[in-house]
Amino acid sequence: MSVNIVITQSRSNSRASSLRRDGSISERLVLLPAPHYPPIPSGSDDGDAAESRQVTLKVLGMVCAACSASIEKAVKRLPGIVNASVAVLQNRAQVVYHPEVVQEEAIREAIEDAGFEASIIEDFGVMETTALCRMRIKGMTCTSCSGSIEAILKRLEGVKKAVVALATEEAEVHYNPNVVNHEELMAAVDDAGFEVELISAGEERNKVQLKLEGVNSQEGIKLIELSLQSLWGVKSVDMSPTGEKVVVFYDPDLTGPRNFIEIVEQSGSGDIQYRATLCTQPGHGGPDRRDEIDRYWKFFLWSCVFTVPVFFLSMVFMYIPKVMHGLETKVVNNLDVGQLLRWILSTPVQFVIGWRFYVGAYNSLRHGSANMDVLIALGTNAAYFYSVYSIMRAATTHNFKGTDFFETSAMLISFILLGKYLEVLAKGKTSEAIAKLMDLTPDTAILLTVNEEGDIVEEREISSQLVQRNDLIKVQPGSKVPTDGLVKWGQSHVNESMITGEARPILKREGDKVIGGTMNENGVLHVRATHVGSETALSQIVRLVEAAQMAKAPVQKFADRISKYFVPLVVLMSLVTGVAWFAAGRTHSYPKSWIPSAMDEFELALQFGISVLVIACPCALGLATPTAVMVATGKGAQQGVLIKGGNALESAHKVKCVVFDKTGTLTTGKPLVVDTKLFENIALRNFYRIVAAAEANSEHPLAKAVVLYVKTLGEERSNERSLETQNFQAIPGEGVHCIVQDKEVYIGNRKLMCEQGIEISEDVQEYLDETEQLARTGVLVAFEKKIVGLISISDPVKPEAARVVSLLKSMGIRSIMVTGDNWGTAKAIGQEVGIETVKAECSPGRKAEEVKKLQLEHKLGVAMVGDGINDSPALVAADVGMAIGAGTDIAIEAADIVLMRSNLEDVITAIHLSRRTFFRIRLNYVWALGYNVLGIPIAAGVLFPSTGFRLPPWVAGAAMAASSVSVVCSSLWLKRYKKPKQLRATSESQLAI
């Protein structure tokens, strides 16, 4: 197997990605967008390279690097795949394959099985524009509703992909704006009978929408439009015809919303004054459910106003002789007062308060699906209209005495409304984690205005939403940092635990980065804003968690498959139950004594049929997975662990092997020069002047450690003029080569010296071996192809590394180290932290190969933990890629899980949280299926012949409502999640220190 890895993104490009349309996280944490990652070839012995072909596919639904990683994994697991590369921003996948082993259709299906929409592009030159629309949809009750909305949207011409999430009540639609617009998408959802609200449409970055007041003439509209267009940095202005709103596209480096508001307000004169305010989009982090909660509570209270009297008339007053006598007074023929009162009181409940169930059932059936509203409407209507038939017969005949079930329909609706109220109340708590993150941003900020000399001339309080890039912000003690930035003046400790999970306050001084939403504990800071609005770390975290909550975990497919057939099957079971009991009664297959005194065979059968209808609950099945994923991803974010979707969460709980990179992962990533050994007669000063001149051109961490060490040798030396370097060449994985003072200089490892024919004497070899046994890296220095010195560099092991490896072992998880460093240092580090299996001197491609070997040979769920660009291929290849938060942008984007604190203990937290989550998901399915598997037979009367136990329809309705509530409450239990005891004890001891 041959592996060729080509890394196309440089360090500068990586940092430049922080200014692209999807933002960055303070240059430490870039989550979106995903760059083009180096492809990881997957060799095949099934054909020759000459027989391979390439296919290009259009892939829709990708939102971040986790998506591209999952697609690459899915494709590369197919036999006959030579190479696969996915570009998120272009919505393209290129796959090289052997046609005699695998077909293009199989590749396309593999991508669709991963949860994305794929189509083969015949003519790659034809490119289609794709826009994204996000909508809030209210009124969904179960997965049948979300499934029907998805189907409706997908049927629209121009729609490429539609995903509807029941738990978050959101829809994401990828569409061609040249064919369909977001208004038509919203109209389709509205026509389906659901309340819809636009969250965003098209490209939202570097765009702001302002609400205007006082603009009531065409002259005013034109004046404001021209004023905004003339502002430096404004790209385009889209003014509404009525002048109520204006959308401005701009360059955030040059201007921002504060300038737009000031320009609008300055455009007025005399009696004509204009005002502008930011338009707030519907809230992120899940819907604001307060209105929905209030609505259900009011419905329930009004329902009780009518249902409670019906209950007393049917089940209480009948045992009070005097009252019962009055209720049995005849009105017309056999129609008595009690029946008439129950009819009058139950009718508003059935047709006014319960109208929403009719609407939901109608809209569902109109689009060829069936949801929970269908079951409720059928059950309550059967009880109500049979009761109407019964009292009509009683009113028109002298000898008919039937039983009415008005209390059944009224109580059913009341209990279901109570259940929906409790369910919405509980669901509102599933997104509290995101809401709390969003609330971290302060409402206001203190803007400082400085003159040309740098003196502060003005302080004023502004809305934090109006902070622009390069603004100078004053952060007082005890207040929150309003946006990401750099400290320009002052010193203080900042508590970042709410963002990163880091327990201790961190000292911040001039030049340090601060994150928006963190707490300034003491001292005044002046901060220069570097990332604002949706670019901030907090916004990126919220967006990532929201995307994770929208993505469906593979296990959710189980519930989606069941929901398609659930309601029709329940209706059929209800009919069979009713017919069977009626037929058995008419044929005298059971004793007449089984029939209650006030009923006949038909009424008994009707009650059994209604009970089966209303006890079945598809809603609980649909909520089992997404509510748990919502709570878990939010809880993970609070713990400093960002999980990119349900797929990553599901894969993490299967992990049986963790592969660690060494430098920056098991070690601190801050190497230090600890010793120098010279093998030739040369002054240490001159030796390091030449070495520093050569290493100053290298980006390698070891080179930076050498340069930093030279600066600490003495101020007079660091100020000397640097030597000129010529013909500099960095040799990946080996070292550097250049000319300094007419000397040919080689600096690097043993492999470099051997390849260049430089002899390593026994003394040098002995000292190098001793250095590596001390878990240090020996850097050899050769002048004119003769080794003159060895620099010993130590990269300290993280204090928690050994403890983490031990805890993973206790969890039944194997730990392996794969590093590009030399064998001696690697083995010493492995021995220090307790890792027995060590792979050293591995190239990036070799790291990915080692991960694949573990997956194929041992059938293990493999997690890769790394922090560098050279780790990104292995992060993509692993079942779960975990990136250290302080690592490079590419590594973070390639990973499925980001450990924001750069603490290895969070590896355990991520795996432990995923295991707890999937235990909770399984328990949710037990709840949901248990209600239906046990409840339906009991409602059908299987216990009635032996025990005489019969489940009244209103009790069955209460059980149905309780099933959804119990599933959501079960998911909410994850909010109580705590790290394993060993980690909590460590954290407490650190805080004590």
pLDDT, position 345: 92
Q: How far apart are CA 267 and CA 903, in angstroms?
A: 53
Q: What is the CATH number of the domain that holds 492?
A: 2.70.150.10
Residue whose pair of structure tokens reads 């660690």 in the numeric block: 660
pLDDT, position 47: 37
Structure tokens at 462: 């502004």
Q: How far apart are CA 676 and CA 713, in angstroms?
A: 12
pLDDT, position 42: 37
Residues 868 and 801 in one domain: yes
Q: How far apart are CA 218 and CA 907, in angstroms?
A: 61
Q: How far apart are CA 251 and CA 235, in angstroms?
A: 7
Residues in the chain with pLDDT < 50? Answer: 1-50, 123-127, 282-287, 715-719, 988-993
- Taking only Cα atoms into account, the Rg of the chain, rounded to an integer number of angstroms, comes to 34
Q: Active-site residue 238, yes or no?
A: no
Last residue of a domain, one of 232, 249, 280: 280
Q: How far apart are CA 765 and CA 762, in angstroms?
A: 5
Pairing of strands 837-839, 861-866: unpaired
Identify the DSSP state of 316.
Answer: T
DSSP bridge partners of 484: 531
Structure tokens at 584: 């058995």
Q: How far apart are CA 910 and CA 987, in angstroms?
A: 16
Between CA 170 and CA 103, with CA 895 as vertex, the angle to 5 degrees is: 85
Q: Is residue 900 part of a domain?
A: no
The SS3 call for residue 921 is helix
pLDDT, position 128: 52
pLDDT, position 137: 86
Residue 298 CB contacts under 8 Å (≥ 6 apart), including other chains: none
pLDDT, position 527: 92
Instruction: Report yes or no: 406 and 387 within 8 Å, Cβ to Cβ.
Output: yes
Among 529, 485, 543, 634, CA closest to 33: 543
Q: How far apart are CA 690 and CA 711, in angstroms?
A: 13
- The model's pLDDT over 71-130, given as tens digits with 9 standing for 90+, comes to 887 888 788 888 887 876 667 888 888 888 888 888 888 888 777 778 887 644 444 567
Residue whose pair of structure tokens reads 């659901």 in the numeric block: 194
The SS3 call for residue 238 is strand
Compute the residue count for the chain. Answer: 993
Residue whose pair of structure tokens reads 């695998």 in the numeric block: 102
Residues 269 and 139 in one domain: yes
Among 668, 669, 641, 635, CA closest to 502: 641
Phi, psi of 270 (to 5 degrees): 60, -130
Q: Is residue 501 part of a domain?
A: yes
Identify the DSSP state of 663.
Answer: I
Residues 79 and 186 in one domain: no
Residues 786 and 683 in one domain: yes
Q: How far apart are CA 330 and CA 501, in angstroms?
A: 73
Residue 288 CB contacts under 8 Å (≥ 6 apart), including other chains: 282
Residue whose pair of structure tokens reads 């999807």 in the numeric block: 22
For residue 121, count CB atoms less than 10 angstroms from its CB and return exposed for 0-12, middle for 13-18, buried for 19 or more.
Answer: middle
Among 855, 703, 834, CA closest to 76: 855
Between CA 548 and CA 708, with CA 530 as vertex, the angle to 5 degrees is: 100
Residues 326 and 422 in one domain: yes
Last residue of a domain, one of 118, 150, 167: 118
Residues 307 and 402 in one domain: yes
Last residue of a domain, one of 760, 792, 824: 792
Residues 771 and 700 in one domain: yes
The SS3 call for residue 308 is helix
Q: How far apart are CA 250 and CA 607, in angstroms?
A: 65
Q: How much of the chain is in helix, strand and coil states, percent to nearest 5? A: 50, 20, 30
For residue 714, count CB atoms less than 10 angstroms from its CB and return exposed for 0-12, middle for 13-18, buried for 19 or more.
Answer: exposed
Instruction: Report yes or no: 623 and 424 within 8 Å, Cβ to Cβ.
Output: no
Alpha-helix runs per DSSP H in 719-822: 750-755, 762-773, 801-810
Residues 771 and 839 in one domain: no
Instruction: Report yes or no: 294 and 442 within 8 Å, Cβ to Cβ.
Output: no
Question: In one letter, which amino acid is 650?
Answer: E
Structure tokens at 837: 């299996």
Cβ neighbours of 774 (radius 10 Å): 15
Q: How far apart are CA 553 and CA 654, in angstroms?
A: 14
Instruction: Report yes or no: 643 and 951 within 8 Å, Cβ to Cβ.
Output: no
* Catalytic option among 22, 373, 484, 661: 661
- The model's pLDDT over 81-98, given as tens digits with 9 standing for 90+, comes to 888 878 766 678 888 888
pLDDT, position 964: 76
Cβ neighbours of 597 (radius 10 Å): 6
Among 668, 960, 984, CA closest to 829: 668
Instruction: Report yes or no: 464 and 533 within 8 Å, Cβ to Cβ.
Output: no
Q: How far apart are the first and last CA of the chain?
A: 52
Q: What is the CATH number of the domain that holds 843?
A: 3.40.50.1000
Structure tokens at 817: 């180290």
Q: What is the CATH number of the domain that holds 251?
A: 3.30.70.100
Phi, psi of 864 (to 5 degrees): -115, 130
pLDDT, position 869: 63
Q: Is residue 878 part of a domain?
A: yes
Range of the domain at 694: 670-792
Instruction: Report yes or no: 385 and 418 within 8 Å, Cβ to Cβ.
Output: no
pLDDT, position 401: 67
pLDDT, position 136: 85
Q: Is residue 990 part of a domain?
A: no
Structure tokens at 243: 């002048």
pLDDT, position 719: 45
Domain count, the chain: 7
Cβ neighbours of 5 (radius 10 Å): 18
Residues 833 and 805 in one domain: yes
Q: Is residue 24 part of a domain?
A: no
Q: Is residue 149 part of a domain?
A: yes
Per residue, the 3-state secondary structure of 573-615, as one string, reads HHHHHHHHHHHHHHCCCCCHHHCCCCCCHHHHHHHHHHHHHHH
- pTM of the model as a whole: 0.63
Contacts by residues 308-316 (CB-CB < 8 Å, ≥ 24 positions apart): 309/341, 309/345, 310/342, 310/345, 310/346, 310/349, 310/406, 310/407, 310/410, 310/411, 311/407, 311/410, 311/411, 313/338, 313/341, 313/342, 313/345, 313/407, 314/342, 314/406, 314/407, 315/407
Residues 290 and 430 in one domain: yes
Instruction: Report yes or no: 946 and 606 within 8 Å, Cβ to Cβ.
Output: no
Distances (CA, A) of 70 to 62, 116, 637, 660, 881: 10, 10, 21, 20, 10
Instruction: Report yes or no: 638 and 501 within 8 Å, Cβ to Cβ.
Output: yes
Q: How far apart are CA 843 and CA 748, in angstroms?
A: 16
pLDDT, position 9: 34
pLDDT, position 487: 92
Distances (CA, A) of 527 to 259, 506, 659: 20, 16, 39
Q: What is the CATH number of the domain that holds 749?
A: 3.40.1110.10
Beta strands in 1-122 (DSSP E): 53-60, 81-87, 92-97, 117-120
Residues 691 and 771 in one domain: yes
Instruction: Report yes or no: 379 and 610 within 8 Å, Cβ to Cβ.
Output: yes
Q: Is residue 904 part of a domain?
A: no
b/e string for 822-845 if b means 16 or more Cβ within 10 A? bebbbbbbbeebebeebbbebebb
Q: How far apart are CA 349 and CA 356, in angstroms?
A: 11
Q: Is residue 239 part of a domain?
A: yes
The SS3 call for residue 775 is coil
Residues 788 and 800 in one domain: no
pLDDT, position 986: 53
pLDDT, position 21: 32
